[in-house]
Amino acid sequence: MASQPIKSDGGSSSYYLIPNGARDLLDLIEHKRMEFGIGNIFKACYRLGEKDGTSKRYDLNKIIFFAQRELARLPKDA
């Protein structure tokens, strides 16, 4: 993730740019140096309800599960 927050006025910003050569979500996950849990949230959001054998509810529960784990890892003042 970026070391310093990027200021935005609500419009398009540099953190939305896709890196050159990115072909799939794994390229984006690696580019942003996402931790395992955040990567799983990102993938579940992207495919929401489209993965064979799963439902939107399954993906949303997965997002909640990993988000709660990530929140628990954060320092209390973060």
Distance CA 39, CA 19 (A): 17
| pLDDT (0 to 100) of residue 45 | 96
Packing angle, helices 36-47 and 56-73, rounded to 10 = 160
Q: What is the pTM of this model?
A: 0.78
Per-residue pLDDT averaged across 13-32, rounded? Answer: 90
Please, which pLDDT band fits residue 78 given cuts at 50, 70 and 90?
confident
Distance CA 16, CA 4 (A): 15
Written as six digits, the tokens of 72 are: 């628990």
pLDDT of 1 > 70? The answer is: no
| pLDDT (0 to 100) of residue 14 | 78
